[in-house]
Amino acid sequence: MANLILASGSARRRELLQQLGLDFHILSPDIDESLHNNESVADYVQRLAKQKAQAVLKQHAGAVVIAADTSVSISNQILGKPHDREHAFAMWSMLSGKTHEVYSGVCVASDTMLRSIVVKTEVEFQVLHQSDMQYYWNSGEPLGKAGAYAIQGIAAQYIPRIVGSYSNVVGLPLHETVQLLKEFDVLEL
CATH code of 58's domain: 3.90.950.10
Kindly tell me if the per-residue pLDDT of 189 is higher than 60: no
23 is catalytic: no
Kindly tell me if the per-residue pLDDT of 175 is higher than 60: yes
Residue 171 lies in a domain: yes
75 backbone φψ class: left, alpha, beta (φ>0; ψ -120 to 50): left
What's this model's pTM, rounded to 2 decimal places?
0.93
Residue 188 lies in a domain: no
Of the pLDDT bands very low, low, confident and very high (cuts 50, 70, 90), residue 186 is: confident
Options 30, 32, 43, 69, the catalytic residue? 69
Residue-number span of the structural domain to which 145 is assigned: 4-182
Helix axes 85-95, 130-139, angle to 10 degrees: 130
The per-residue pLDDT for 66 is: 97
Angle 157-123-41 (CA atoms, 0-180°, nearest 5)? 140
8 A C-beta contact, residue 47 and residue 39:
yes
Kindly tell me if the per-residue pLDDT of 100 is higher than 60: yes
8 A C-beta contact, residue 170 and residue 151:
yes
Kindly tell me if the per-residue pLDDT of 161 is higher than 70: yes
The per-residue pLDDT for 188 is: 61
Structural domain count of the chain: 1
Of 184, 153, 187, 177, the C-alpha closest to 17 is 177
